[in-house]
Amino acid sequence: MQLTLNSPLDMHLHLRQGDMLKTVAPLSSKSFAGALIMPNTLPPITTKEQVITYKEEILNATKDDKFKPFMTLFFKNNYSYEFLKDIKDEILSIKLYPDGATTNSDGGVASFDIESLRETLEAMSELEIPLNIHGETTGFVMDREKEFIPIYEQLATVFPKLKIIMEHITTKDAVEALDKHPNLYATITLHHLFITLDDVAGGMLKPHLFCKPIAKRPQDREALLNIALNAHPKVMFGSDSAPHPKEKKEAPGCAAGVFTAPIALPLLAHLFEKYNKLENLQKFVSDNAQNIYNLNIKNKKILLEQKEFKVPNSYNSIVPFMGGEKINWRIIDA
Amino acid sequence: MQLTLNSPLDMHLHLRQGDMLKTVAPLSSKSFAGALIMPNTLPPITTKEQVITYKEEILNATKDDKFKPFMTLFFKNNYSYEFLKDIKDEILSIKLYPDGATTNSDGGVASFDIESLRETLEAMSELEIPLNIHGETTGFVMDREKEFIPIYEQLATVFPKLKIIMEHITTKDAVEALDKHPNLYATITLHHLFITLDDVAGGMLKPHLFCKPIAKRPQDREALLNIALNAHPKVMFGSDSAPHPKEKKEAPGCAAGVFTAPIALPLLAHLFEKYNKLENLQKFVSDNAQNIYNLNIKNKKILLEQKEFKVPNSYNSIVPFMGGEKINWRIIDA
């Protein structure tokens, strides 16, 4: 069996910097026609100059003019209308991190007091710049996303013209919030469609499956699977592929992130085929995102075939999701 | 400030075998007058000969005739009355593991069908041999203990003369079950009085805090603290100190277990003093256990003082709880 995907997009991707960028960027461009690039670099991407420089570094690393990096800014509540108007053509959206929520999120938003965010969010609404949010509170780790839902809902209500994307949703609660507000959207990762907390910590502890938000309960995974497999029009694939060197994962303090970029499409094909939903994969990995972000990317076809493929144990020093395991779809090189 | 503890006991301890035993046994005998030794060795302790041999190995390792290893058997539902009568004087209790629930628990109980357990549990009741249980189902990792409570309650009801110790309880649910049945007792570990899942996986992932049962929610920890600090008479200290070499903890599949034996008493003193409950520590670490198990151990005094102590980063290859951190109580060498 073969499958052609038209311009698949990864709408939540960490490409990092330096040597790590050079390792992982070509692994994304091999599979995808474009990706939304997260701005939580060191330092974070907060200026037009940084956006342009980072984009050039990415293009140099992929050496693939058919791969489009959609750039984002690291949200700050002091971005003015003028600043945003000037930078608008260089970015696709702006990513909001609560302060300290995940890797390199220091300096993110410390308070969700609406008035402190109003000027920037109204400017974004007017300029039609979508807002990506890492929606977690600082509460108990299993409750952080659920506790954040009222904040999503308040923002969606107060700024009705702002497109708000709930990034990497992991709970039934977030799925239920999705349809309550016309301007709420969501990305879902690969790994949250496959694993629950049982896979991370139910047997041996698996640092390579540790991520933020942490994988939740079986019923949460079921809710995510349901909207992904049915290609709910407000839901897009965003891998949140987040590489760390092996020595930072197998350590006394293991960094959060699962590296999925190189095997995302084969595993999605496996999953959608397993549930007899292969006809919906094109929407989940491209069409929905193009509609939500008003994109028109049609320049790349990715051909997959149903054939055994052994996932490498590592890509340089990075251990991928399902490293060393056999999966039953693979990408056919162009 | 100084504190003398009379014959403190650790009523749930893993001493392992071979070199590991030689490393950890003296660290327990330095702090405790005795300990209940878990039987999940390789192979598990299931015969009188094994009990005697393992006890000798432990005594050789501690070289401390004031340390009493209370031996246990690995529960099997084919132990007959005659077998148990013959072995009774060599053991203090029998430990039941659900099959596969934790380290070296293969061959444990696969079904809690009462009839399949009746003969052995009735013999234990008659011979007054207490039953220690690792009470977890195979359900979702955060629910396993809660789901096991009905099994505890059924066993307590069907075998009213059997003393049943709910080992290393971690939930408010288990605390609530404790007073519902006169023959239900519990041990509580050091680490479950200190940590929640947030400490394990809320920031960076901490393999050295990964254990089974996994640490739960803040309100669960509060419930445990409440009965420990008040020295509830049906509750005893049992460290569940479970050493693994560093390379098995900082690995792609990290083994479950927290090594607490050498710093258990100083940290308990710290905790009980913090809550103004120091007068209850003697009961929690010795008197309650002596009442529950009908012991009469009075041969060892442990003197502690309030003075800064830096926990070693490791004991040979074993990283202890709070390794490298400063704590404010220490044991004064005899």
Q: Do B141 and A197 touch (CB under 8 A)?
A: yes
Q: What is the pLDDT of residues B169-227, one digit of tens each?
A: 999 999 999 999 999 999 999 999 999 999 999 999 999 999 999 999 999 999 999 99
Q: How far is A103 from chain B (nearest CA, A)?
A: 9
Largest CA distance in chain A: 54
Interface of A with B in 178-197 (CB under 8 A): 196-197
CB distance from A200 to chain B under 8 Å?
A: yes
Residue B202: which of A141, A207, A208 has the nearest Cβ? A141
Q: Give the pLDDT of residue A334.
A: 65
- A222 in reach of chain B (CB within 8 A): no
Please state the ipTM of this predicted complex: 0.94
Confidence of residue B103 (pLDDT cuts 50, 70, 90): confident
Q: What is the pLDDT of residue B25?
A: 98
Q: How far is CA B235 from the centre of its chain?
A: 11
A206–B254: do the CB atoms touch at under 8 Å?
yes
Q: Calculate Rg over the CA atoms of chain B.
A: 18
Chain A interface includes B247 (CB < 8 A): no
Parts of chain A with a pLDDT under 70: 334
Name the pLDDT band for B334 (thresholds 50, 70, 90): low
Residue B9's nearest CA partner among B238, B170, B225, B186 is B238
- List of residues 6+ apart from A14 with CB closer than 8 A: A37, A38, A40, A103, A240, A241, A242, A243, A257
* Integer CA distances (angstroms), B34 to B3, B84, B299, in order: 19, 23, 10
Instruction: Take residue A226 and report the two structure tokens written for it.
Output: 């349901």
Is A250 near chain B, with CB under 8 Å?
yes
Residue B107: predicted pLDDT? 85
pTM of the model: 0.96
pLDDT of residue A272: 98
At B124-178, the pLDDT tens digits run 999 999 999 999 999 999 999 999 999 999 999 999 999 999 999 999 999 999 9
Q: Please report residues of A whose CB lies closer than 8 A to that of B198.
A: 140-141
Q: Is A76 on the interface with B (CB under 8 A)?
A: no
Q: Which one from B19, B240, B287, B333 is the annotated catalytic residue?
A: B240
Mean pLDDT of B264-281: 97
Pick from B141, B252, B319: CB nearest A207: B252
Q: What is the pLDDT of residue A48?
A: 98
C-beta separation of B201 from A200 below 8 A: yes
Question: For residue A102, what pLDDT is reported?
Answer: 80
Three-state SS at A220: helix
Q: Per the structure block, which two tokens stand in for B168?
A: 């290393």
| Residues in CB range of A53: below 8 A, 6 or more apart | none
A99 is catalytic: no
Q: Say whether the peptide bond before residue A182 is cis (omega within 30 degrees of 0).
A: no
Out of A10, A240, A287, A333, pick the active-site residue: A240
